[in-house]
Chains A and B, each alone.
Chain A
Amino acid sequence: GAGVSQSPSNKVTEKGKDVELRCDPISGHTALYWYRQSLGQGLEFLIYFQGNSAPDKSGLPSDRFSAERTGGSVSTLTIQRTQQEDSAVYLCASSSRGGYSDTQYFGPGTRLTVL
């Protein structure tokens, strides 16, 4: 079956512009996560959606970052007024139940470059 997909695969933008990154999770997965990975660094948690519950936004680095999940499926991560330090690979993952022992399935990521 299809895995997690993300689009675009690469995004180059100018400082100050807004960007939207999309994630299509595995069908039927109730939990969805966004992470950020800077060059040579580990994954930094950004936000977590579980079913219809309010999302856990505790990892968002600033109010320029927001995310939504429509219909419990597709998610969009929006970065407003992008800065050069936002340059990173943004990874999305989904899991079937969202429990902490649950396996997370990752998409290929979106590489964001802010000039």
Chain B
Amino acid sequence: SQKIEQNSEALNIQEGKTATLTCNYTNYSPAYLQWYRQDPGRGPVFLLLIRENEKEKRKERLKVTFDTTLKQSLFHITASQPADSATYLCALLNAGNMLTFGGGTRLMVKP
């Protein structure tokens, strides 16, 4: 069956460090992968989209990699700030041409 796995344990890091979140998937051949941010009590907000032929995508302090051989995407936040604390979700296109979301990883950046 198709699975998208994100670390369900919260990631705690110190302000200024780089946060790295992982998204692993099985039984998918996605053409696209998206990352969203979700704050408590709010809907997810789109951050980045990366295509299968793109190894890396950057946006300000954010960097996403996409390794279709490893079936993994890494999401990096450099120079992290307490305001980056949130849950981060990855999403893939499933066989029905719909986005399927992972369970998300909660990031806590401590000052």
Contacts and interface: CB of A to CB of B under 8 A. Distances in A.
- Could you tell me the dominant secondary structure of chain A's interface residues? loop
B46 A4 contact: no
B97 to A, nearest CB: 6
A22 to B, nearest CB: 15
A105 B42 contact: no
Contacts, number: 56
Contacts of A108: 41-43
Contacts of B4: 42
A41 B6 CA distance: 11
B46 A104 contact: yes
A4 B101 contact: no
B99 A100 contact: yes
A106 B43 contact: yes
B28 to A, nearest CB: 12
A25 interface: no
Contacts of B93: 100
Contact of B98 (A4, A56, A91): A56
Given A58-B98, A100-B99, 9 more contacts: A40-B103, A42-B101, A42-B102, A45-B99, A100-B32, A103-B46, A104-B46, A109-B41, A109-B43
